[in-house]
Amino acid sequence: MMTPELIVTLGKHALEVTLVMMSLLLLPALAVGLLVSIVQAATQINEMTLSFIPKLLITATMLIVGGPFLLRVLTDYTVELFRQIPALAH
């Protein structure tokens, strides 16, 4: 039976999976952006597009390297959700 506690638990788990998946992509891009900003401040180069290419490259690299992990996390979550359907329909 779908109780409010169960719905909150499912939503919490969905947010945790989303956080894990997005942090793998966003944290390296954030670190590269910060590093490029420090270099820009030190060299007084104020080009806004300069940080775009390194962020794009690190995001693509993390997607290639971490892709199997991301796919495994999403697949495990989906399979577990499908396994819970009979118990939820009660």
- What are the pLDDT digits (tens) for 74-84? 999 999 999 98
Q: Does residue 87 carry a pLDDT above 90? A: no
Ramachandran quadrant class, 2 (left: phi over 0; alpha: psi -120 to 50; beta: rest): beta
Mark out the alpha helices in 1-90 (DSSP H runs).
Answer: 4-43, 52-88
Q: Does residue 1 carry a pLDDT above 90? A: no
Q: How many CB atoms lie within 10 A of CB 39?
A: 13
Q: In the structure encoding, which two tokens stand for residue 89, read together?
A: 């329909």
d(CA 66, CA 63): 5
d(CA 71, CA 1): 30
Domain ranges of the chain: 16-85
Q: What is the pLDDT of residues 22-80, one digit of tens each?
A: 999 999 999 999 999 999 889 888 887 888 999 999 999 999 999 999 999 999 999 99
pLDDT of residue 6: 87
Q: What is the pTM of this model?
A: 0.78
